[in-house]
Amino acid sequence: MTSVIERLQSRAAGFSVEFFPPRDAADEAVLWRSIRELEPLDPAYVSITYGAGGSSRQGTIRSIARVATETTLVPMAHLTAVNHSVAELRHVIGSYAAVGVRNILALRGDPPGDPYGEWVPHPHGLRYAEELVTLVRSLGDFCVGVSAFPYGHPRSPDLATDTAHLVRKFAAGADFAIAQLFFEAEDFLRLRDRVCAAGCDKPIIPGIMPLTTPRTLAKTIELSAAEPPRWLVDRLRPLSDDPKSFRAAGLDVVTELCERLLAEGVPVLHFYTFNRSKATRELVNRLGLVRVGA
């Protein structure tokens, strides 16, 4: 099974996609239509997020197993330490390995219900993503990714501390990081510079949200935990009641952001898809990231 890091090293530039586990049969059909539509475009890898509840967690394992066994795509499974003992984490990692998934995005996760609530580790579990990286590494030949935060993780007291914790995750064995959503290329590039200045040259992949609707803009603001710049608000908010114009302007903004990031040598653009492929397909076509045969 190809590793994510091999995919990053073997290509000039490309894209990857993130899905979430389907909740029911209708969701599953939508997800699989999107996967099949994206498959010929040869994304570097396909990831599936990991939720807080038991059924959603089973959904991640089931979906990533299907990606591994029924498609030509390189699968990456997310995994969090939330409400898991170390024994359970070992079991999930074993389930991934059993279906041929060798790429894991190792995360701490947020407290279920309130992401800003008190983080209470499982009594027999882990406290930080760094420990999960070490655990995954100890269990086999896995390629491990971690998260990174252009504006700093909301719980970090300052950017220097946040950078130090990210560098510790790399030192624990992480091969690459995926950055949380951000608004301007400079925000991502400054994160990359901070990590580089700390003596670490592991790849960091920017997370990209196709801004097709006011909802996707609101989600970007929520996840980035930062205020959007004035120019972005001025460009998109007046179009909030005009879906077609909002989508067109939003995709223009994202195209410009991606072009700048590609010019700065990012290895891959990691697209949040909400399990739909249309906006991602449109963006990768515009950016010239579609490969032969697509």
Ligand X SMILES: Cc1cc2nc3c(=O)[nH]c(=O)nc-3n(C[C@H](O)[C@H](O)[C@H](O)COP(=O)(O)OP(=O)(O)OC[C@H]3O[C@@H](n4cnc5c(N)ncnc54)[C@H](O)[C@@H]3O)c2cc1C
Q: Within its chain, how far is the Cα of 108 from the centroid?
A: 14
Q: Give the three-class secondary structure for 141.
A: coil
List 108, 137, 192, 202, residue binding ligand X (CB under 6 A) = 108
Residue 27 or 252 with smaller CB distance to ligand X: 27
Smallest distance from ligand X to CB 98, Å: 20
Q: How far apart are CA 118 and CA 132, in angstroms?
A: 19
List 162, 170, 247, 268, residue binding ligand X (CB under 6 A) = 162
Residue 115 or 214 with smaller CB distance to ligand X: 115
List 80, 224, 275, 280, residue binding ligand X (CB under 6 A) = 80
Smallest distance from ligand X to CB 271, Å: 11
| Distance (Å) of CA 88 to CA 47, 84, 124, 130, 193 | 21, 6, 10, 17, 37
| Site map 172..191 versus ligand X, x via CB under 6 A | ------x-x-----------
Q: How far apart are CA 138 and CA 142, in angstroms?
A: 9
| Site map 230..269 versus ligand X, x via CB under 6 A | ----------------------------------------
Interacting stretch for ligand X, rule CB under 6 A, among 34-42, 154-162, 191-199, 229-237? Answer: 154-162
Q: How far apart are CA 141 and CA 5, in angstroms?
A: 12
Q: If binding is defined by CB under 6 A, does position 219 make contact with ligand X?
A: no
**CA angle, 194 as apex, 270 and 180 as ends, to 5°?**
30
Bridge partners for 79 per DSSP: 106
Q: If binding is defined by CB under 6 A, does position 130 make contact with ligand X?
A: yes
Residue 80 or 212 with smaller CB distance to ligand X: 80
> Among all residues, which ones are annotated catalytic?
18
Q: How far apart are CA 215 and CA 220, in angstroms?
A: 9
Q: State both tokens at 23.
A: 């909740």
Q: Are 176 and 4 in contact (CB under 8 A)?
A: yes
Q: If binding is defined by CB under 6 A, does position 155 make contact with ligand X?
A: yes
Residues in the interface with ligand X (CB under 6 A) total 23
Q: How far apart are CA 20 and CA 289, in angstroms?
A: 23
Q: Give the three-class secondary structure for 54.
A: helix
Q: If binding is defined by CB under 6 A, does position 110 make contact with ligand X?
A: yes
Q: State both tokens at 28.
A: 């599953």
Residue 8 or 246 with smaller CB distance to ligand X: 8
Q: If binding is defined by CB under 6 A, does position 50 make contact with ligand X?
A: yes
Bridge partners for 143 per DSSP: 103
Smallest distance from ligand X to CB 56, Å: 9
Q: How far apart are CA 110 and CA 14, in angstroms?
A: 29
Q: If binding is defined by CB under 6 A, does position 207 make contact with ligand X?
A: yes
List 39, 86, 128, 276, residue binding ligand X (CB under 6 A) = 128
Best CA proximity match to 151, nearest among 190, 193, 111, 106? 190
Instruction: State the residues that interact with ligand X by CB under 6 A.
Output: 49-50, 78, 80, 105, 107-110, 128-130, 147, 153, 155-156, 162, 165, 168-169, 178, 180, 207
